[in-house]
Amino acid sequence: MSEKMIQPVRGTHDLLGEEYRKHQWIHDVSYSIAQKYGYEPIATPIVESTAIFKRTIGETSDIVGKEMYTFDDRGGDSITIRPEGTAGVARAVISNSLTQSMPLKLIYDGPMMRYERPQKGRTRQFHQIGVECFGISDPLVDVETIALGAQILEQLGVAHRSILEINTIGDTDSRKAYRQALVDYFTPVSSHLSADSQARLAKNPLRILDSKDPKDQELIASAPSFDHYLNDLSQDTFRKVCQGLDALNIPYKRNPLLVRGLDYYCHTAFEFTTTDLGSQGALLAGGRYDGLVGQLSGPETPGVGWAMGVDRIALMLDQVPPQPRPIAVIAIGDETMEAAFQLAMSLRKQGIRIELAYSGNVGKRMKWADKANAYAAILLGTDEIAAQQATVRNLETGEQNLVAFAVLKDYLIDTFK
Ligand code: ATP
Ligand code: MG
């Protein structure tokens, strides 16, 4: 087998050890906080019909245009590995007739795939945790959703290294007016735009504002501001969001260029960003998407949500809370191994984390217990077994005691909790 065959596919990697534990911790913290806000877990398939993403994310987006893993399955249907979670969750809401039981608060997580140029904080397979709240158009819910993200980042210890940027992209009428203003502004200078932005100018001019191309950015800097084109409803909605954040003491910065890459967004757009990860600064991004469920032929349903990049958050974590340390069970001589195994199994069933030294002399087994970071060792010789007791040695202090099997579990819990 060639070297290349035993490497993971470019842009993907194995999750193990400390990195896996970081992912798991991020998951546990997010789900436990979201539950307090009334969110219920949902899991959708990792593939959807390609049309689901084309319809919702939009043909002019980077995701649909360049990044999707799309293939015909053996029956000839066009299938796409999900590049993000919102479209699938919205599809599931419709498929399961959940539009009858609004409002709905859903949380999901899992791997996503986008064909991108791999670099730090940007991989082809990455993980997101996302929340979606359907059925409420009150801007209070936008505030609540942002607050949920803020609380999760706070609990994970990365809040102080990120800032919340917010913007409004208004309602459909405001966007229409602003789109025209952008067309009027960019058309005369279109030859100075990047090729991508020239295409955007024809199809979706708002997306030019999102461009990272330095040539585009110069022109973007003096582009007309959205604020002049927001109607009263849009302004009022945005004001309520800002007031809500103020009332909760959640700091934010207005970023008028934050437009989000997806077609179904309206009103509130937000992103928690960091400068700690180079140009891969977006940690958690979302907004309001009142058009989404309707776009998928469901009943018109307001919605707001966000998705968090788990891998990027993991890169920012120094440490996860330490694992509970084990207790080692050590047979003194092979003849007590079977009894040691029985004891280990019984203590595990009683809820204690046990590592068993499988082979070697006592010295080797003790070294092994050290390596496993055990905080105590239970030593079992033939004498101990005859007396139905064990020697329990505290590996930090060296102190040891003889403890009867009958009270061993309680002794361990009391002494080493
Ligand atoms: P970026 O501007 O960095 O490409 P995006 O706008 O494409 O981000 P979203 O579609 O909003 O990202 O996805 C939500 C979050 O998922 C991002 O804020 C980021 O943390 C994470 N994310 C997106 N793409 C990747 C990737 N290729 N690798 C790792 N994380 C990613
Ligand atoms: Mg992207």
Please write the tens of the pLDDT for every residue from 244-303. 999 999 999 999 889 875 667 899 999 999 999 888 899 999 999 998 999 999 999 999
Number of domains in the chain: 2
Q: Is 81 helix (H, G, I), strand (E, B) or coil?
A: strand
Instruction: Report the relative pairing of strands 40-41 and 69-72 from DSSP bridges.
Output: unpaired
Q: Answer whether 267 contacts ligand 1 (Cβ < 6 A).
A: no
Q: Does pLDDT of 2 surpass 80?
A: no
Considering the chain, what percentage of its residues have pLDDT values greater than 90? 80
Could you tell me if residue 215 is inside a domain?
Answer: no
Could you tell me if residue 134 is inside a domain?
Answer: yes
Number of H helices, E strands in the chain: 15, 16
Between CA 270 and CA 284 the distance in angstroms is 8
Could you tell me if residue 177 is inside a domain?
Answer: no
Residue bearing the bigger pLDDT, 417 or 254? 254
**Whether 403 and 312 share a structural domain:** no
Which ligand is closest to the CA of 83, given by its number?
1
**Whether 307 and 360 share a structural domain:** no
Q: Which two tokens stand for residue 113?
A: 């795939």
63 CA → ligand 2 middle, Å? 7
Q: Per-residue confidence at 410, pLDDT binned at 50, 70, 90?
A: very high
Domain boundary residue among 316, 337, 364? 316
Could you tell me if residue 321 is inside a domain?
Answer: no
Which ligand is closest to the CA of 119, given by its number?
1
**Whether 37 and 63 share a structural domain:** yes
Question: Residues 153-179: what's their mean pLDDT?
Answer: 94
**Whether 411 and 269 share a structural domain:** no
**Whether 118 and 72 share a structural domain:** yes
Ligand 1: atom nearest CA of 313 is 20
Evaluate whether 312 touches 121 at the Cβ level (below 8 Å): yes
56 CA → ligand 2 middle, Å? 16
Number of Cβ within a 10 Å radius of residue 349 = 10
Could you tell me if residue 192 is inside a domain?
Answer: no
Tens digit of pLDDT for each residue in 133-161? Answer: 999 999 999 999 999 999 999 999 999 99
Q: Which two tokens stand for residue 56?
A: 């919702």
DSSP output for 105-134: EEEEEEEEE-----BTTB-SEEEEEEEEEE
**Whether 390 and 245 share a structural domain:** no
Domain boundary residue among 316, 349, 381? 316
Between CA 155 and CA 35 the distance in angstroms is 14
143 CA → ligand 1 middle, Å? 22
Residues contacting residue 344 through CB under 8 Å, at least 6 positions apart: 329, 354, 356
φ/ψ region of 191 (left if φ > 0, alpha if ψ in -120 to 50, else beta) reads alpha
**Whether 258 and 386 share a structural domain:** no
Evaluate whether 68 touches 103 at the Cβ level (below 8 Å): no
Domain boundary residue among 316, 348, 378? 316
pLDDT for 51: 95
**Whether 269 and 131 share a structural domain:** yes
171 CA → ligand 1 middle, Å? 24
Between CA 367 and CA 2 the distance in angstroms is 38
Tens digit of pLDDT for each residue in 225-237? Answer: 999 999 999 999 9
**Whether 245 and 298 share a structural domain:** yes
Instruction: Write the CATH number for 30.
Output: 3.30.930.10
Using alpha carbons, select from 59, 51, 133 the residue that is nearest to residue 90.
133
**Whether 288 and 352 share a structural domain:** no
Q: Answer whether 312 contacts ligand 1 (Cβ < 6 A).
A: yes
Residues contacting residue 119 through CB under 8 Å, at least 6 positions apart: 278, 280
pLDDT for 262: 63
Tens digit of pLDDT for each residue in 61-76? Answer: 889 989 999 999 999 9
Could you tell me if residue 179 is inside a domain?
Answer: no
312 CA → ligand 1 middle, Å? 9
Name the residue range of residue 28's domain.
Answer: 4-171+231-316
Ligand 1: atom nearest CA of 286 is 11
**Whether 312 and 363 share a structural domain:** no
Q: Answer whether 385 contacts ligand 1 (Cβ < 6 A).
A: no
Residue having the nearest C-alpha atom to atom 22 of ligand 1: 309
Between CA 292 and CA 101 the distance in angstroms is 17
**Whether 288 and 147 share a structural domain:** yes
Ligand 1: atom nearest CA of 307 is 14
In this structure, the chain runs to a length of 417
Between CA 13 and CA 212 the distance in angstroms is 27
210 CA → ligand 2 middle, Å? 11
Ligand 1: atom nearest CA of 282 is 18
Tens digit of pLDDT for each residue in 356-367? Answer: 988 888 899 999
Listed in sequence order, the DSSP H helices in 248-306 are 292-295
12 by Cβ neighbours in 10 Å (0-12 / 13-18 / 19+) ranks as middle
Q: How far is CA 102 from CA 94, 106, 256, 266, 299, in A?
A: 12, 11, 32, 20, 12
Q: Answer whether 128 contacts ligand 1 (Cβ < 6 A).
A: yes
Between CA 134 and CA 98 the distance in angstroms is 10
Using alpha carbons, select from 68, 56, 60 the residue that is nearest to residue 132.
56
